[in-house]
Amino acid sequence: MGYVAIKGGGRAIDGAADALELLRTRQGESARPLDTDTIEKQLYFLHSRILSEGGLYHPQLASLAIKQSLGDTLEASFALRAYRSTKPRLLETPVHDTSNMRLIRRISASFKDIPGGQMLGPTTDYALRLLRMDLLNESPEQFQAIAKTLLAGLPQQSGADSFPKVLDSLRAEGLLPQVNQAAREQPFDITREPLIFPVPRSAALATMARGETGSLLAIAYSNMRGYGDVHPTVAELRVGYLPVMLPHPISGELTEVGEVLMTECEVVAMYQGDDNKSVPTFTLGYGACFGHNEVKAISMAILDRALQKGMQDGAENPSEDPEFVLLHVDGIDSMGFASHYKMPHYVTFQSDMDRLRTTQQKQEAGHE
Amino acid sequence: MSNGINFAFLDEYAKREIRRSVIKAICIPGYQVPYSSREMPMGRGFGTGGLQLTLALIGADDTLKVIDQGSDDSVNAVNLRKFIEMTCPGIDTTTRLQEATLIQSRHRIPEQPLRADQILVLQVPYPDALVIVEPSEDKRKIMHGEADYSRLLVKLYEDIVKFDEITISHRYPTRINGHYIIDPSPIPRYDVPRLNHSEALILFGAGREKKIYAVPPHCLAEPLAFDDVPFRIEDFTDSHGERRACKLCGSKTSFLDEFIDEQGARVYQCSDSDYCEQQQELAHG
């Protein structure tokens, strides 16, 4: 057993941990602890956000992270991300085709009639943001009856649940560049390699896929407002469950091992006039992340477009600069560093004071 | 471990990657080796780079000392030490520098000399000294490769023109082995000369910025300065020209923390608490 050297600081930390635990449980005797299923289902969008920013698809542990962090999105994603560090990477999936997604929602802002049709699905887009006072005193019975009634009204089989991609039809018309199969690079794994600029597009996409929603939104918004000129149209936004395929350990045959809830967004942007002789086409931006996070996927698609433009023509705006965007959108990094300023900086501050006093003295001496 | 976490938290692949990066860092003194940097269960900025180095290097027979601002009892040092003890069963921890084989520190190099069988791990918030003159890492990499530090020298020169003094207080740019200039982490200028020809290996870990670099033993480390404007450490002389002493141990050579006591008087105390205690033990026999 090792000798342990601890004094006052250790007691203070223990005390702080207790105070936080009290904060979590202070509701007292009438309280029921949140169970992880409730978090996953009733705090669905919060849960989605943690899955995505945590960069690990583990619905139950994402719920646990939300529970133990008292709903702090940065902290919860952080706990999930740190858990990831303890696990070796065993396998890589092949590239997945999202046309196989089992969709719960799918829209296009570019065409009214898309093959398969628009499917609004669960969304707040057209909801009036009026507080529903009746939910203040919702009884468990009322609550349970709602889903039952809604599900009873549905037909048993509601048709196909996977649809072709909108982009495929644009591609068939020659409005988009063809997919260059030969140029398909080995995806860059940001969890195993540091970003050394310039980085491939796959590294940018991976970084944004687990980026912090607010950070992505803020930088994408700067582009939308005029610090940039992507002017996107949402060709397709889809939310659904993507079957995950892995090679069978014995036969090597691709086998479905489960499915992940994902949001995917493809934006089409106006052709940027340049002087090369190739046939002009629209340009593309792509966004995808775990969970149901539409604003994040749209922001990411816009930034992907902006970054591609920046890499090609040089960055004219922050949102087009890969270093600016990719090194500042990670919530774990940025919140950690912002929090670290709460730590003591006695030594460096002592040094600062030494410099300030010395320069003050020199200046005073100069005035005499 | 009972909760299924590997010895030293990280999986073995991660540790191996860090050790390889350390070897590269030693081979190219002062060069910032990029590495993937795993998320640790504590905040980026709280020493996750140093922590990953420590976890990759530590074995069950090591004795660890963790300090923050020179103190073993600072909350962050306690927190890191507790985490390492929890994930590395069998190791010893100590506050006495002489007993430690591995020392993780934030913002200070211990007051007393290090030995050849010790490794000092420093936590680094900003690994690149050039960041004050060039925000783009891509461009900084080229500047480092070409040993082009002219803009850094211009910054020092501008300081002298404006303030008649170099105003960089800590994180003082230091040239290693005649080529790469490093950010030696936020150690005070007082500590910078002790990087030069150190007996011990000194490793720098920046977790958030994903870099590892090293000042190997017996390696040249020179703070950036001009022939006619020498590098200067913090000045602890009082208005009578006397070197201030630590109020606890009386040391007149150590780096001092300044604070206001209950009577409102300004007092000074060793920043390195272990050194201070050892000095007091010596004085009292």
Residues 167-206 of A with CB under 8 A from B: 191-198
pLDDT digits (tens, 9 = 90+) for B228-259: 999 999 999 998 999 999 999 999 999 999 88
A113 close to A119: Cβ distance less than 8 angstroms: no
CATH code of B114's domain: 3.40.50.11310
User: How high is the ipTM of this complex?
Assistant: 0.78
Query: Are B247 and B129 members of one domain?
Result: no
Shared domain for B219 and B253, answered yes or no, is no
Do residues B90 and B164 both lie within one domain?
Answer: yes
Q: Both B26 and B126 in a single domain?
A: yes
Q: Any idea which of A142-156, A272-286, B45-59, B208-222 has the lowest mean pLDDT?
A: A272-286
User: What is chain B's alpha carbon radius of gyration, rounded to the nearest angstrom?
Assistant: 19
Please compute the mean of the pLDDT values over residues B5-23 and round it to a whole number: 93
| Model confidence at A2: pLDDT above 60 | no
Instruction: Clarify whether residues B75 and B133 are in a common domain.
Output: yes
Mean pLDDT of B54-82: 93
Nearest by CB to B138, from A81, A197, A351: name it: A197
Environment class of A316 (CB within 10 Å of its CB; exposed 0-12, middle 13-18, buried 19+): middle
Residue-by-residue DSSP string for B129-166: GGGGT---HHHHHHHHHTT--HHHHHHHHHHHHHHSS-
Lowest mean pLDDT among A147-161, A204-218, A303-317, B199-213: A147-161
Q: Which of A340, A342, A364 to mutate to test the interface with B (most CBs of B within 10 A)?
A: A340
Is the residue at B218 inside a domain? yes
Across all residues in chain B, what is the average pLDDT?
Answer: 93
Domain identity same for B65 and B34: yes
Residues A334, A338, A344, A346, CA torsion sign: positive
The active-site residue, picked from B47, B49, B205, B246, is: B246
Predicted pLDDT at B243: 95
What average pLDDT is seen over chain A?
89
CA–CA separation, A330 vs A183, rounded Å?
A: 28
* Residue B151 in domain: yes
Q: Which residues 50-79 on chain B approach chain A with CB closer than 8 angstroms?
A: 68-70, 72-79
Structure tokens belonging to residue A53: 């920013």
**Is 90 exceeded by the pLDDT of residue B201?**
yes
Mean pLDDT value of segment A214-235: 92
Is the pLDDT score of A1 beyond 50?
A: no
* Mean pLDDT confidence for B112-131: 96
Range A113-122 average pLDDT? 85
User: Residue A159 — very low, low, confident or very high, per pLDDT cuts 50/70/90?
Assistant: low
Q: Is the pLDDT of residue A116 over 60?
A: yes
Can B276 be counted among the known catalytic residues? yes
Residues B184 and B53 in one domain: yes
C-beta of residue A134 within 8 angstroms of C-beta of residue A258: no
Classify the phi-psi angles of B116: left when phi > 0, otherwise alpha if psi is within -120 to 50, otherwise beta.
Answer: alpha
Residues A100/A162, Cβ–Cβ less than 8 Å: yes
- What pLDDT score does A272 carry? 59
For residue B176, pLDDT over 70 is answered with yes
Q: What is the pLDDT of residues B153-173, one digit of tens each?
A: 999 999 999 888 888 999 999
pLDDT at A368: 63
Per-residue confidence (pLDDT) for residue A182, from 0 to 100: 62
A250 vs A128, A193, A247, A253, B105, CA distance in Å?
A: 54, 30, 8, 8, 49
- Asked if residue A341 has pLDDT above 50, the reply is yes
| B137 and B265 fall within a common domain | no
> Which pLDDT band, with edges at 50, 70 and 90, does A183 fall under?
low
Instruction: Please say if the pLDDT value at position A98 is more than 50.
Output: yes
* B97 in the same domain as B67: yes
Name beta bridge partners: B105. B67, B122
Element (H, E) at A259: strand A254-269
**What pLDDT score does A8 carry?**
63
In whole angstroms, give the CA distance from residue B17 to residue B31: 17
Cβ of B168 and A355 within 8 Å? yes
Chain B contact for A345, CB < 8 A? Answer: yes
Q: Domain ranges for chain A, please list them.
A: 31-88, 99-123+140-335
Burial classification of residue A268, based on how many CB atoms lie within 10 Å of its CB (0-12 exposed, 13-18 middle, 19 or more buried) = buried
Name the packing angle between helices B75-87 and A8-25 (round to 10°). 80
Burial class (CB in 10 A: 0-12, 13-18, 19+), B184: buried
Say if B163 is an interface residue toward chain A (CB within 8 Å): yes
Would residue B59 show up in a list of annotated catalytic residues for this protein?
A: no
Q: What is the DSSP letter of A178?
A: P
Verify that B266 and B151 share a domain, yes or no.
Answer: no
Same domain, B89 and B64: yes
The label of the residue with tokens 């995806």 reads A187
Selected residue with higher pLDDT from B201 and A85: B201
How many domains does chain B contain in total?
2
What confidence score (pLDDT) does residue A343 get? 84
Of A96 and B53, which is predicted with more confidence? B53
Residue B1 has pLDDT above 70, yes or no: no
Q: Number of residue pairs across A and B with CB atoms under 8 Å?
A: 181
Q: Does A364 touch chain B (CB under 8 A)?
A: no
* Per-residue confidence (pLDDT) for residue B76, from 0 to 100: 87
Q: Identify the residue among B2, B5, B44, B104 best suited for mutation to test binding to A, counting A beta carbons within 10 A and taking the highest.
A: B44
Verify that B209 and B256 share a domain, yes or no: no
For Cα atoms B41, A219, A67, give the angle at the middle one, nearest 5 degrees. Answer: 35
Chain B residues whose beta carbon lies within 8 Å of the beta carbon of residue A72: none
pLDDT at position A6: 41
| List of chain B residues whose C-beta atoms are within 8 Å of the C-beta of residue A194 | 34-37, 210-211
Over residues A271-292, the mean pLDDT reads 80
Residue A279 has pLDDT above 80, yes or no: no
Residue B11 Cα, gap to closest chain A Cα (Å): 5
Residues B87, B5: Cα–Cα separation, whole Å? 7
Place B94 in a pLDDT band, splitting at 50, 70 and 90.
very high
Contacts of B204 (CB under 8 A, 6+ apart): B49, B121, B122, B124, B127, B182, B184, B185, B211, B212, B213, B214, B215
In a domain, B6, yes or no: no
Read off the pLDDT band of A3 (50, 70, 90). very low
Given a cut of 80, whether residue A179 has pLDDT beyond it is: no
Give the residue from A346, A349, A357 with the most B CB atoms within 10 Å of its CB, the best one to mutate.
Answer: A346
Q: Does A79 touch chain B (CB under 8 A)?
A: yes
Domain assignment present for B277: yes
To the query of whether residue B90 is one of the catalytic residues in this protein, the response is: no
Print the domain residue range for B277: 239-285
Interchain pair B163, A363: CB under 8 A: yes
Check whether A169 has a pLDDT greater than 90.
Answer: no
CA-based end-to-end distance of chain B: 43
**pLDDT tens digits along A61-74:** 999 999 999 999 99
Pick the catalytic residue: B49, B88, B270, B285? B270
